[in-house]
A = this chain, B = another copy of it.
Amino acid sequence: MRILKYHVTAKDVAKLAGVSQSSVSRVYFEGASVSNKTREKVLAAAKELGYRPNEFARSLITNRTKIIGLVMKGIHNPFYPEVLKQFTTAFNKLGYSILFVSTNNDEIQKEDIDMLRNYNVAGVIITDASLSLNVTEDFKENQVPLVLFNRKIDNDQFYSVCCNNLDASEKIAKYLIEKGCSKVAYIAGNANTSTSRDREKGFTSIIEKNNVTLNKYTSDYTYEGGYKTAKKIIAEKEVPEGIFVANDIMALGVVDALRENSIMIPAETKIVGFDNIEMASWPTYNLTTWEQPITKMVEQTVNYLMTEMVEFSGYTESVEVNGALIVRKTT
């Protein structure tokens, strides 16, 4: 056993303040009614003793915590550290803490979920990973609100927050056509992600309507993936006039590969990415891309969770937040 500094409890505060322990509790419990006089006495005593309510005793009774579980897979994509930072800042301001879980698999594992269940998290955000229904039954049964961030699942079992991927990719297609491309390519991210599928769908629909030649390649949302795919395209001899790459980090790999082979961007080939990560604006790359409105997406997620945490409704919707095309020098 550790020998600990004397732990200040509500009882100690009560004694010093000359009130009951219940009254101390009421001062720290939102919504309870206490007279100003009692409140002042309690707060003064609490300050003197350095009292802080024990979150665990609290959670034991209320069966609630102020912990948000955040599950993230692709921390290597610079898009996600920014997302993490914004979520942490937003929730910390609201008095909530972030329990961070990094999953290695495309699909979230039972262990990852168990970690969150063990700590009885008040809400869950899953970014960048899919999940099977049975894994989340626990959350539903316990009325823990859940948001899929930057991913959606076709059935309407989940609340999801995404960028307007379909519309965005249609606009990107139109933009490349306007720029005069008569032969284009799409480089997909992981095939099992909704983002890659939606971006492919929107892009393809417009391209096909305009009788532009389209080649599709599958990659994996990494720099190396983009680089290798571009090398493959180059090896096929007929480099397309425009390439829409499903995310920025892959697009940077594509740019580097084309440069190594002295293919001029944008003169010979135009490149468009997706995300608008910081590096896209670096002078070396100056990548034309679609900006994902992270701040708005985070806001939307936080608002939903906060509402559902106050009173669980189980409401689900696929929310799409509008981004915008950022034109730089690769087109």
Chain A interface residues toward B at CB < 8 A: 2-5, 7, 52, 54-57, 59-60, 63, 65, 67, 70, 75-76, 78, 80-82, 84-85, 88-89, 92, 97-102, 104, 111, 114-115, 117-120, 141-143, 223, 227, 252-253, 255-257, 259-260, 278-279, 282-284, 312
Q: With contacts A56-B56, A76-B85, A92-B115 known, what are 17 further pairs, Cβ within 8 A?
A: A7-B63, A56-B57, A56-B60, A57-B60, A67-B119, A70-B100, A76-B82, A76-B278, A78-B78, A88-B101, A89-B104, A97-B118, A100-B100, A223-B278, A223-B282, A255-B284, A257-B283
A251 to B284, CA, bound (A): 13
**Chain B residues in 8 Å Cβ range of A253:** 282
A59 to B3, CA, bound (A): 16
A141 to B6, CA, bound (A): 10
A-B contact pairs, 30 of them (CB 8 A): A2-B63, A2-B143, A2-B312, A3-B143, A4-B143, A5-B141, A52-B114, A54-B60, A55-B119, A56-B56, A56-B57, A56-B59, A56-B60, A60-B60, A67-B99, A67-B119, A70-B100, A76-B82, A76-B85, A76-B278, A80-B81, A88-B102, A89-B102, A92-B101, A97-B99, A97-B101, A223-B278, A223-B282, A255-B284, A260-B283
Count copies of this chain in the complex.
2
Once the chains bind, are A52 and B117 in contact (CB under 8 Å)?
A: yes
Shortest CB–CB separation between residue A254 and chain B, in angstroms? 12
For A56, A85, A98, A284, the residue with the greatest tally of chain B CB atoms inside 10 Å of its CB is: A56
**Chain B residues in 8 Å Cβ range of A282:** 223, 252-253, 256
Shortest CB–CB separation between residue A169 and chain B, in angstroms? 26
Q: Which 6 A-B pairs have the closest CB atoms?
A: A100-B100, A88-B102, A5-B141, A56-B59, A75-B81, A56-B56
A78 to B277, CA, bound (A): 12
Shortest CB–CB separation between residue A50 and chain B, in angstroms? 9
**Chain B residues in 8 Å Cβ range of A120:** 55-56
Shortest CB–CB separation between residue A51 and chain B, in angstroms? 12
**Chain B residues in 8 Å Cβ range of A279:** 279
**Chain B residues in 8 Å Cβ range of A115:** 92, 97
Pick from B56, B80, B117, B284: contact of A284, CB below 8 A. Answer: B284
A203 to B170, CA, bound (A): 53
A304 to B70, CA, bound (A): 26
**Chain B residues in 8 Å Cβ range of A284:** 255-256, 259, 284
For A75, A89, A120, A257, the residue with the greatest tally of chain B CB atoms inside 10 Å of its CB is: A75
A200 to B58, CA, bound (A): 50
A98-B100 contact given A81-B81, A259-B284, CB 8 Å threshold: yes
For A89, A99, A114, the residue with the greatest tally of chain B CB atoms inside 10 Å of its CB is: A99
**Chain B residues in 8 Å Cβ range of A55:** 118-120
Pick from B52, B70, B88, B255: contact of A118, CB below 8 A. Answer: B52
